[in-house]
Chains A and B, each alone.
Chain A
Amino acid sequence: MRANRKSVWLIVLISMLPAPGALADEQLVYATIQPAQITLGESAKFTITNLGDGTSAVTMPVVPGLKFEVIGRSRQIELINGTTLPSSSIVVRVTPQVAGIFTIPGVTPKTQPLVLQVNPPGSAGAAALSTAKPANAPPILSGASVPKGIHLTEDGSAYLRLTVPKREVYVGESIPIEMEVGMRSGFVSSLNGLPKLTGENFALNNLSHQPERSEKLIEGQPFVLLTWRSSLSVVKPGTFPLMAQVPLTVKIRTRSKRQSDLDDQFGDPFWQNFFGTTTPKDITVESPAQELRVLELPLAGRPADFHGAIGSFALESDISPGKGDVGEPLTLRMRVIGSGNFDRVDSAMLQRVDPWKTYPPKSTFNSSDPVAHKGEKIFEQPIIASKPGVQTLPALSFSYFDPSLRRYETVHSSALQVTISPAQADSSLAAPAPGDSASSPVNEFTQGLKPDHAAGGRLARSLTPPYLQQRFLAAPCLLVLAFTAACIGVRRRRSSAGRLSGRNRVASRATERKLAQMEAAARAGNPGLFFTSAREALQEILAARWQVAAGEVTAAQVQERLGNDDIGRIFAFADESKYSGYDVDDTDLGRWARVVRREVAVEAAR
């Protein structure tokens, strides 16, 4: 029991010796590399320290050109004011395989990347490093006084500097800014967020995800500098204070200043942590406030095609390919090059230009700086020519506001000429260019083709089968019409003849009856009935011939159409005997009976 108690105290005491002086409310992982600059062939010590219960996932970095070997692990327990604080460390040997500057990514998502510079053997940097003492500044550090615009925190552990190139901007204008966070080596344990602007009147665009990392001596102390670049735009006019802030976790000294100065002489966080002189604390570092005057864009002289672009731009245009066929899509390209708010650079390009068919353009932006303030925006518009020949595309224009000149500008491109050939699909019956045929190679492929035919043969104007051509279809159509007409004619004639013959048969029978009555009246010596029957017999036969009713055949019509006096007299006798009672002797009736029979025979023969 006694032995066990001794061993427990021994572990506690031993673990307190190398324990870092960190008192954390929450788990904290950080990594250090020492030294930050070595010569090829040497190794650096990369230490990952976890101030917590050790459950945080630590990823061993993988950097091409660097070899990482874990050479030791240690766990410590620290007792501060009766509270047990566990911590663990992983010591890794970093051996470079080539010279150069390497960035070792953070071991956790929250930790910052580290930079290791590997000098080639025999270089000046290597020589300087070999003679450097831990308390002296490393060779890559430069500067010894507080630069302009830097305001360190009260404890001197960090600063935030906001660099704005101008104090007067226009609404919507985009200006590039820099936000530099300086963190004193060993005193800032973590960066807890990205820097941001205070106030609602500003918008930060395109903030770089990975800051540029460098190191610098400020007032003789080593600082790690992280620089973010972004573009700033203002949404309304007025005068506004502009400042930025960033959240950090720093290590607050828990020892007296005099004792800490002794620690600082070592210049190495490892030794500072070794003696356990600090405790972590979350702070917000702010940049000094600056005043920004925001102007409204002038209304006077604003072009109709101004879409809010502010900056300095130039315009170029081209078309590709430079020549094409009718119906072939070509690409009209407009490049807006310069600096400014490219998100407001817009163009409708061409619309309804005869003989072109235009489509909506699409745009791409190629930035030449990290904050998309400089670069070129390319508008590509598909266009299709509908007519062959040399076609001219009108010049393109683009309007913007130039803040340096304080006025609107409109730039124009030059008109473009394109040679449009008839579409190959339409002119495919034409032979290819003679030059092409002359240069056609006689190779293995062409030898496999069957030879050409002798020119000639049946000529055709159209490849459409004749039976589908309107002009040829006229032939069978005319035939069908002709046969239809012939058939209809035959049918009509037949039916007409049938009707006539039927009517004649009926008329003939009626005539025969009347003639019989006439003969009987002659024998009976009845002249009235005789001439009446004779007239009716003649009416029946003439009505059948003239295609009228029998009652419509009158003496006047007979006289007019036939000019026959005998028939006229018979009609007159019939009327006379009917209405006046005139009597004709037997001889007369016999003679008139012969006349009637003769006339009936004549009309029937017709």
Chain B
Amino acid sequence: MKSALKWAALGVSLSLASGSICAQDTENEFSAANLYNLANLYARQGKFGMAVLNYERASLLAPNDRDIEANLKYVRAASHVSEPPRSTFDLVARRLSPLTVSWIGVLGVLIGGLSVLAAQISFGGAWMQRAALVLGILMLAVTVCNGIALWPTLHAGVVIGAQTPVRVSPVPMGEALFVLPEAETVKVTAEHEGFLLIKTRSGRAGWVSRSAVARVIAHKSIP
């Protein structure tokens, strides 16, 4: 019985160490405030695409920042780009920052695991074990919901070029299908030799040059 507890304790300590390593890597770090100020700078220069991009990035780190939300709306309105609709689920699921949600998920795994282990070694009452298991599952669900709500943003791109032509194939010549305005947010579905396959909110799809559309999150880091 003691050795089982030792295993669990070792796992917790290792996982905490792993999380702390991840958090303590301080190279090339940025904060929500830095991104927000950068977006403001771009907005003052009239580079609305870059401004929207950095506001979107800042809102990932600080989802409840009213200034970010206000300036994002303001810049989109100034560039005559409509605001993407947000559902209630989206608003609720993105209430907490991804970092907090991540640790909640880890805690949920910990509590759920301990409850299962307690049931194995007959530690505590059955009601307590069940309550702990439900709590752990709920905490995990919070993380999963946040991931579902963030998924479109993780695969979104912002048009940073003025009047970006959208073509039928990933080549720089030929007739453009339509033109994307700067600061428009699109869904990036594929990449091929310097071109991105995008889909607009209205459902129109086509290829744009990678230099004209910036992903909210760099492609390589997205699973």
Contacts and interface: CB of A to CB of B under 8 A. Distances in A.
Interface stretch (B80-88, B124-132, B198-206, B207-215): B207-215
B37 A452 contact: yes
A466 interface: yes
Given A459-B26, A468-B147, A479 B110 contact: yes
Interface stretch (A119-127, A405-413, A481-489, A536-544): A481-489
Most buried by B among A429, A457, A479, A480: A479
A461 B29 contact: yes
Contacts of B146: 465, 467
A446 B39 CA distance: 12
Contact of B45 (A436, A460, A478, A482): A436
A464 interface: yes
B106 A428 contact: no
Interface in A337-374: 357, 359, 362
Contacts of B44: 437, 440-442, 446, 449
A432 B42 CA distance: 7
Most buried by B among A384, A440, A467, A491: A467
Given A428-B54, A483-B116, A474 B15 contact: yes
A482 B150 contact: no
Contacts of B216: 463
Interface stretch (A235-243, A320-328, A583-591): A320-328
B5 interface: yes
Nearest to B220: A464
Contact of A465 (B45, B75, B102): B102
B8 interface: yes
B183 interface: no
B181 interface: no
A9 interface: no
A329 B209 contact: yes
Contacts of A448: 74, 78
A474 B21 CA distance: 11
Given A466-B22, A472-B22, A486 B223 contact: no
Contacts of B211: 325-328, 423-425
A428 B160 contact: yes
Interface string B7-40: 1101110111011011001111111111111101
Contacts of A468: 147, 154, 222-223
A482 B114 CA distance: 10
Interface residues of A, number: 67
A560 to B, nearest CB: 31
Contacts of A449: 40, 43-44, 71, 74-75
A501 interface: no
Contact of A461 (B16, B19, B25): B25
Contacts of A472: 18-19, 22, 102
A386 interface: yes
Contact of B31 (A327, A456, A489): A456
B138 interface: no
Contact of A466 (B36, B98, B215): B98
Contacts of A446: 43-44
Contacts of A465: 60, 98-99, 101-102, 146-147, 150, 154
B217 interface: yes
B136 to A, nearest CB: 11
Chain B at the A interface: SS class = helix
B61 interface: yes
A458 interface: yes
A475 interface: yes
B53 interface: yes
Contact of B113 (A437, A445, A459, A482): A482
Contact of B61 (A362, A432, A463): A463
B68 to A, nearest CB: 8
A465 B33 CA distance: 17
A359 B171 CA distance: 8
Given A461-B27, A468-B147, A483-B116, A437 B99 contact: no
A10 B36 CA distance: 103
Given A440-B41, A445-B78, A463-B60, A475 B19 contact: yes
A552 to B, nearest CB: 30
A270 B7 CA distance: 121
Contacts of A453: 32-33, 36-37, 67
Contacts of A459: 26, 29-31
A-B pairs, top 4 by smallest CB distance, nearest first, are A482-B11, A483-B113, A465-B98, A425-B214
27 contacts: A328-B211, A362-B173, A425-B215, A432-B47, A437-B44, A450-B67, A451-B67, A452-B36, A455-B33, A456-B31, A457-B31, A457-B33, A457-B34, A459-B31, A460-B61, A465-B98, A466-B22, A466-B102, A467-B146, A468-B154, A474-B15, A475-B106, A479-B106, A479-B113, A483-B11, A483-B116, A493-B4
Interface of A: 325-329, 357, 359, 362, 382, 384, 386, 423-426, 428-429, 431-432, 436-437, 440-442, 445-446, 448-469, 471-472, 474-483, 485-487, 489-491, 493
Given A432-B47, A483-B8, 17 more contacts: A328-B209, A359-B171, A382-B173, A425-B215, A429-B54, A432-B45, A452-B37, A458-B61, A461-B28, A462-B217, A463-B60, A472-B19, A475-B106, A479-B106, A485-B7, A487-B117, A490-B120
